[in-house]
Amino acid sequence: MQLKAIASGFVSKISFLNRSFGKKKFRLLDIGAGNHSASKIKNVFPDCEYHGVDLERDYNNSASDFALMSGFYEMDLTRLDMSSIPDNYFDGIWMVHVIEHLYNGDEVILKLLPKLVSGGYLYIEYPGIKSTKLPSMHGSLNFKDDHTHVRVYSVKELTVLLEQNNCKVLKGGTRRNIWFILSMPFRIIGFWMRGKKLQGNIFWDFLGFAEYVWVRKN
């Protein structure tokens, strides 16, 4: 996964965690727990019981990140063996820019749903079909800019899958963060002034790169 993609998706993680839980305590299973995600989330939600899942334990995490985790599961999700993760335990499962790296992401989702309590929330974000038609750019603007992307998913596909499996889709569509859109000119100027190459994620929300579904389990 490209770091800029993960950084851009982190804002959505926080936004939908706030919509789901506000200031309440909650147990979170974060699928894709690298890049100091535990520290960042615990900084905003100190009462969150954080559990992480990732392919590699040391994907840009430090000892202080692991100290904040109540659990960490190092696994290849495509193998569909989730037996080490407790069932009916988590209030939220977040998958932000993960399923596009999984050829069987639909099967992975079905294996994860039993881990979620009744009334729990699921948030999934990924590059949508529109990303396949956008120009190529440093930092990922076209789906194929990241060679580890293997499958394109859609809101329609995921909605059908989830609603057939005891879930209600609360909201879904193209990610359009108004603050990212309004700040786009300033971010562009900032990159130019620092002599840095523009990153594709600057344009994600304006051009509709990413899609999402926000779900509650019945």
CA distance 100 to 144: 11
The answer to pTM > 0.95 is: no
- Alpha-carbon distance 211 to 118, whole Å? 25
What is the tens place of the pLDDT at every residue in 127-181?
Answer: 999 999 999 999 899 999 999 999 999 999 999 999 999 999 999 999 998 988 9
Q: Which DSSP string corresponds to 13-70? A: HHHHHHHHHTTS-EEEEEES--TTHHHHHHHH-TTEEEEEEESSTTSS--HHHHHT-S
- Over 60: is that where the pLDDT of 1 sits? no
Backbone angles phi, psi at 49, to 5 degrees: -90, 105
Question: For 181-207, how does the pLDDT look when each residue is reduced to its tens digit (9 = 90+)?
Answer: 999 999 999 999 999 999 999 999 999
- Residue 198's pLDDT is 92
Question: Is residue 8 over pLDDT 70?
Answer: no
For the chain, domains (ranges, CATH) are 3-217 (3.40.50.150)
Which of 173, 34, 56, 157 minimizes the C-alpha distance to 107? 157
